[in-house]
């Protein structure tokens, strides 16, 4: 939960309304916390309008957990703590739907005429003549997920069930509770019994992140792991996990679009008369309803909606395979009735398929900005999801081998939205006898540097970072970063221009740029060009730590670069150090040591370093200072909040110069936390762990070599 419009309105009053009685009346405090957490979870997950910082939400959540642990009798089915999962079932129980979950008819005509045909049928069934007003419809998205029925009794979620065969489904309540968008309880004005029908789905970005985690697990040797074919399969697999703890790790979402069983109006149930009014009421009760849902009039309204969503489809953060039209008036729905267990008053209008079959013509390897090598299947052109696809990612060698994609294979290709097309699977029965298996090349196809895959990593990477033209822009941008060489004014857009125009091919070329070259760049006036040249000249005088960091050695961050500079004192000593010698440096483990050694083993990297020295880049060098000789050696400090005496960057540099390690998070190994104004969650954690706290005065004493 990111902070936005941070205003606790009545939260502070609610949270402090019973300060003295909280201990005496834990039941009241628990209810108070549940109310707060429900409110803020709904604001974040459903309304996308967070009102509370993450740290504060987490603090309230932990307080409720602790209270429920201390008083188990206070635990309720609607408690936010019950979303984390953990129950393991032997099998799913069967659920008979009180109101069947029926499917709706699919209109196979993908054109505007499909919408017009539906309106024609409806008008004919209702006996309407051309001169009568147009029928009012509700137009919705057809989500590519898993249909779900949520049953609420007395306002509490008591059961969640899959569609199954429409009559009988499987109870998956424990797993559905983990979905943050689904209310665990309803407002007081909700009917005594309410079954909400909707779709469980997975966003595309969540799906890609999930598959990336799966690839890393496969690469690390974890048994039984696999990547998922598409978001729908991933969502369905998560819903049907017997272990709800696993389901809780899968990022699922939900949209509501209909009703099942419900308290009738003559027994106190709702009295709405239109489908749209029902959806708006569900939204008011806390259920997500797709914002694209619209009330439209007649065939022209249906056609316009179908065409608008077709344009917006690729930009949606989730998959749809069409739209749905429903007659809005509930009385007319009843009058139209059903045919062969399908409602006459609704239809699904699909878009072109997003999966098609084609042939793999070749498998090439692309080099990304960070050196990642990605195998890409070159395809016989195929029309998928509204565009012609000629390339599809295979992600990495492990994934290509797992799917066993070979040159000559017939494959199923999927394209969803702006996600890069990918090969879903191979049609093995169509494999030719001469199909060629893919093997990742030993060297980068762009610069011929060695290609390596680290243990536990799914991806191969080019080791020619400073030399490889595919990584050139990334290397230059990193080199100029504020915490590296600090070249003010050299932004990513200017880097793009300089590289694309051929003015900068290596890092040293930056120091040979001329005023007339820079002035000719887009949005670069003479004054800006002069300022950049001055910034480049200023950057020539730096520190060894900054210079090492600027080289972009994999796994070598700012802190590690400074440790290397302290330990060895001279660049040549770092470049010549063996892996065993590198392992003697604080914070350098086997992976980092191997990465440093591999970097300087590349001849072209040493040539780039020499070219930078020849261009005038320099730093003070000296004998290595043993860590034990430094006054703050072995001390770990965390900085948080706004300091009065100096900026946090200044404090960090001064502390590190004295041998201290400045960490980004608080742990039991932290010696001091320096807390300035508006300190956040790090201060809370320090207090919880009993870590000594320092203010500005304590920091100054520490820098002076005195015990605070």
Q: Do 11-84 and 355-437 share a fold?
A: no
Is the pTM higher than 0.95? The answer reads: no
Query: Which has more confidence, 330 or 626?
Result: 330
Confidence of residue 47 (pLDDT cuts 50, 70, 90): low
Q: Is the pLDDT of residue 5 over 60?
A: no
The rounded distance, in Å, linking the Cα atoms of 474 and 469 is 10
Mean pLDDT, residues 487-504: 91
CATH 3.40.50.10190 at 627-703, yes or no? yes
The rounded distance, in Å, linking the Cα atoms of 623 and 202 is 56
Check residue 29 and give its pLDDT.
Answer: 86
Tracing tokens 């052109």 back to the chain, one arrives at: 381
CATH of domain 463-625: 1.10.150.20
Q: What's the CA dihedral at 607, 610, 616, 618 to 10 degrees?
A: 130
The DSSP string of 245-292 is HHHHHS--EEEEEEEEEE--GGGT-----BHHHHHHHHHHTT----TT
The rounded distance, in Å, linking the Cα atoms of 285 and 184 is 11
pLDDT of 238-265, one tens digit each?
A: 888 877 777 788 889 999 999 999 999 8
- Assign a CATH topology to domain 11-84: Helix Hairpins (1.10.287)
Check residue 18 and give its pLDDT.
Answer: 40
Maximum Cα–Cα distance across the chain: 96
pLDDT of 434-475, one tens digit each?
A: 998 899 999 999 999 999 888 778 899 998 888 898 999 989
Check residue 17 and give its pLDDT.
Answer: 40
The rounded distance, in Å, linking the Cα atoms of 207 and 146 is 15
Other residues' Cβ atoms within 10 Å of the Cβ of residue 600: 17
Contact 238, 247 (CB under 8 A): yes
Q: Any idea which architecture 355-437 has in CATH?
A: Beta Barrel (2.40)
Check residue 111 and give its pLDDT.
Answer: 85
The contacts of residue 690 (CB under 8 Å, 6+ apart) are: none
pLDDT of 60-93, one tens digit each?
A: 877 887 888 788 888 887 787 776 544 444 578 8
Q: Return the minimum-mean-pLDDT range out of 278-287, 444-453, 644-653.
A: 644-653
Comparing C-alpha atoms, which of 354, 349, 348, 346 is closest to residue 307? 349
CA 200 vs CA 150, 244, 617: distances in Å: 11, 15, 57
pLDDT of 540-582, one tens digit each?
A: 999 999 999 999 998 899 889 998 998 999 999 999 999 989 9
Three-state SS for 690? coil
Q: Return the minimum-mean-pLDDT range out of 503-507, 656-660, 679-683.
A: 656-660
Which helix (H) or strand (E) element contains residue 364? Answer: strand 355-367
The rounded distance, in Å, linking the Cα atoms of 335 and 110 is 28
- Assign a CATH topology to domain 137-350: D-amino Acid Aminotransferase; Chain A, domain 1 (3.30.470)
pLDDT of 350-382, one tens digit each?
A: 887 677 889 999 999 999 888 999 999 999 998
Q: Is the pLDDT of residue 654 over 70?
A: yes
Confidence of residue 294 (pLDDT cuts 50, 70, 90): very high
Give yes or no: 142 in active site: yes
Residues 124, 142, 505, 527: which is the catalytic one? 142
Q: Which residues pair with 407 in a beta bridge?
A: 436
Confidence of residue 7 (pLDDT cuts 50, 70, 90): very low
Q: Where in the chain are the domains?
A: 11-84, 137-350, 355-437, 463-625, 627-703
Strands 636-640 and 661-663: parallel
Check residue 381 and give its pLDDT.
Answer: 93
Q: Is the pLDDT of residue 6 over 70?
A: no
């Amino acid at each position: 939960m990111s902070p936005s419009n941070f205003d606790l309105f009545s939260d502070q009053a609610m949270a402090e309304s019973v300060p003295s009685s909280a201990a005496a009346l834990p039941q009241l405090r628990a209810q108070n916390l549940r109310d707060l957490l429900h409110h803020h979870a709904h604001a974040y997950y459903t309304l996308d309008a967070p009102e509370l910082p993450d740290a504060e939400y987490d603090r309230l959540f932990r307080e409720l957990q602790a209270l429920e642990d201390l008083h188990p009798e206070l635990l309720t089915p609607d408690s936010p703590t019950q979303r984390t999962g953990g129950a393991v079932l032997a099998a799913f129980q069967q659920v008979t739907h009180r109101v069947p979950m029926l499917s709706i008819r699919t209109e196979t005509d993908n054109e505007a005429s499909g919408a017009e045909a539906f309106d024609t049928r409806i008008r004919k069934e209702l006996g309407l003549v051309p001169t009568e007003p147009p029928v009012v419809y509700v137009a919705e998205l057809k989500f590519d997920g898993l249909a779900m029925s949520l049953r609420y009794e007395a306002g509490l979620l008591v059961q969640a069930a899959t569609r199954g065969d429409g009559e009988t489904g499987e109870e998956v309540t424990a797993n559905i509770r983990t979905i943050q968008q689904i209310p665990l309880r309803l407002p007081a004005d909700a009917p005594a019994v309410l079954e909400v029908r909707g779709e469980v789905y997975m966003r595309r970005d969540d799906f890609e992140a999930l598959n990336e985690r799966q690839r890393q697990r496969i690469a690390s040797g974890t048994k039984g792991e696999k990547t998922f074919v598409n978001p729908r399969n991933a969502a369905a697999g998560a819903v049907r996990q017997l272990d709800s703890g696993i389901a809780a790790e899968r990022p699922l979402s939900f949209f509501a679009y209909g009703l099942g069983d419900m308290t009738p109006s003559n027994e106190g149930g709702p009295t709405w008369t239109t489908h749209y009014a029902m959806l708006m009421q569900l939204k008011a009760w806390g259920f997500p309803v797709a914002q694209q849902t619209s009330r439209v009039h007649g065939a022209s309204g249906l056609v316009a909606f179908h065409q608008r969503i077709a344009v917006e489809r690729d930009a949606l953060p989730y998959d749809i395979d069409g739209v749905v039209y429903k007659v809005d008036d509930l009385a007319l729905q009843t009058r139209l009735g059903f045919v062969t267990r399908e409602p006459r008053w609704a239809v699904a209008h699909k878009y072109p398929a997003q999966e098609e079959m084609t042939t793999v013509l070749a498998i090439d390897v692309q080099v990304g900005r960070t050196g990642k090598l990605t195998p890409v299947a070159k395809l016989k052109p195929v029309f998928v999801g509204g565009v012609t696809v000629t390339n599809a990612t295979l992600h990495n060698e492990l994934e290509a081998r797992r799917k066993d994609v070979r040159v000559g294979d017939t494959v199923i290709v999927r394209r969803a939205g702006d996600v890069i097309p990918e090969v879903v699977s191979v049609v093995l029965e169509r494999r030719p006898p001469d199909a060629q298996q893919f093997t990742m090349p030993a060297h980068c196809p762009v610069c011929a540097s060695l290609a390596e895959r680290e243990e536990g990593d799914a991806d191969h990477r080019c080791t020619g970072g400073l030399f490889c033209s595919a990584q050139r822009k990334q290397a230059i941008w990193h080199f100029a970063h504020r915490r590296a060489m600090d070249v003010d004014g050299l932004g990513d857009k200017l880097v793009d221009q300089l590289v694309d125009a051929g003015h900068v091919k290596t890092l040293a070329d930056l120091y040979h740029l001329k005023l007339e070259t820079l002035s000719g760049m887009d949005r670069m006036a003479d004054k800006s060009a002069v300022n950049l040249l001055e910034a480049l000249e200023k950057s020539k005088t730096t520190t060894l730590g900054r210079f090492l960091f600027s080289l972009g050695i994999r796994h070598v961050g700012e802190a590690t670069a400074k440790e290397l500079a302290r330990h060895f004192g001279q660049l040549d000593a770092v470049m010549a150090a063996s892996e065993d010698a590198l392992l003697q440096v604080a914070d350098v483990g086997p992976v980092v040591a191997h990465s440093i050694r591999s970097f300087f083993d590349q001849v072209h990297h040493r040539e780039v370093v020499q070219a930078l020295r020849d261009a005038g880049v320099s730093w003070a060098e000296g004998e290595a200072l043993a860590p034990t000789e430094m006054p703050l050696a072995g001390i770990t400090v965390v900085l948080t909040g706004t300091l009065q005496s100096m900026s946090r960057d200044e404090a960090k540099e001064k502390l590190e110069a004295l041998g201290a390690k400045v960490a980004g998070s608080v742990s039991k190994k932290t010696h001091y936390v320096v807390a300035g104004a508006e300190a956040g969650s790090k201060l809370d954690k320090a207090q919880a762990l009993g870590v000594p706290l320092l203010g500005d005065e304590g920091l100054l004493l520490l820098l002076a070599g005195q015990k605070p």
